[in-house]
Structure 1
């Protein structure tokens, strides 16, 4: 049983990870690969709303997607977009990236190779990874404007969709850890972490929500 305090701490991390950007038209939309096909769905919705003329789906496979998406995350996202009516010529795929940094770098290279002029990016991720994705993109592609987006849903709705509360809390803690340690490693920009968020993170770690942490020296 997950306590009320634990849910409160998880909600604080969830709220902090959301960038609360208002979607606006951008040069390109980039959907970051993951286990969550909702990323593809919201990217398609934004395309239909004329928020971008071109979509890049990026991602190989990971331990959480190897069985579910054997052809690779980007390919499965592309298939979903085509099923939903997006024309083939409006979707590019980048199939080699295995982390957020590679998602950004490899997508940037692909767009450059295709001669696409990029001044702004609508960056679509899972809801609990908006801030991490934003911070990474600002570090690796500082000359473009980054607008963050994800499926508009509450923490409760997301947990219900995944059907694994502990996994969701593990992922929230993992995303928060990366905001703390990756700036010093040069992977993303530094961001101010409110004390209340830091306390919630420490408490969740102490309760054992640690399966998505990366090892540190």
Structure 2
């Protein structure tokens, strides 16, 4: 868990929320993403929310109508007006989340200069790096549920899933820049070492082919 905390802390960007043109909530198994977007809207940090995501093997059973649709339902239940919540239901990875959300906002004629990018806590940096590559003209402010690793694992109820995801997120930071999927970022040596130990310990369920 000490290695996992290193990866967890590295993934957090440490951005302070500030008013942006739009909040974009990235689809996943975690409804906390929708809750954070709702809280940011209530605080006046974004006048519009886009939820993006189809389904994945992780979410197919728990979100059968699609991640973005379930997020929207959660937000409306939380008091956000329906007219300020847009959904993008095709995206199946982070790159598509960004590209399709950008296209949707352009189609709606929304002028975007800054984005509150809401993700799972352990994917802040991955999402940020992807957005900076695919949407370079906008300022990106990262946001996620403000939980420590232990509390987050308890909320999800599946430590293996969270650690697999952590390892997979760091691997993508290592291999994806060369493929053009995200900007390159410096990864500290202790984070790389922790990643390699966790990978060697078998937390490989979310790795991509290299």
Alignment TM class, shorter chain as reference: over 0.9
Structure 2: which 5+ runs fail to align?
none
Q: TM-score, normalised on structure 1?
A: 0.96
Count of equivalent residues: 210
Map residues 1-20 of structure 1 onto 2, 5 A cutoff.
Answer: 7-20=1-14
Aligned to 1:87: 81
2:137 is the counterpart of 1:143: yes
CA distance in 2, matches of 1:52, 1:32: 15
Residues 39-58 of structure 1, C-alpha deviations (whole Å, 9 max, x = no match): 00010000000000000000
For 2:30, what is the secondary structure of its paired residue?
Answer: coil
CA distance in 1, matches of 2:184, 2:3: 22
Residues 102-121 of structure 1, C-alpha deviations (whole Å, 9 max, x = no match): 00000000000000000000
For 2:142, what is the secondary structure of its paired residue?
Answer: strand
Aligned to 1:60: 54
For 1:147, what is the secondary structure of its paired residue?
Answer: strand
Aligned to 1:24: 18
Counterpart among 179, 184, 191 of residue 178 in structure 2: 184
RMSD: 0.5
For 1:178, what is the secondary structure of its paired residue?
Answer: helix
Aligned to 1:213: 207
CA distance in 2, matches of 1:122, 1:16: 19
Q: TM-score, normalised on structure 2?
A: 0.99
CA distance in 1, matches of 2:159, 2:75: 28
Structure 1: which 5+ runs fail to align?
1-6
TM-superposed deviation, 1:97: 0.2
TM-superposed deviation, 1:32: 0.2
CA distance in 2, matches of 1:163, 1:92: 29
TM-superposed deviation, 1:165: 1.2
TM-superposed deviation, 1:89: 0.8
TM-superposed deviation, 1:215: 1.2
Aligned to 1:96: 90
Residues 146-198 of structure 1, C-alpha deviations (whole Å, 9 max, x = no match): 00000000000011011111221111000000000000000000000000000
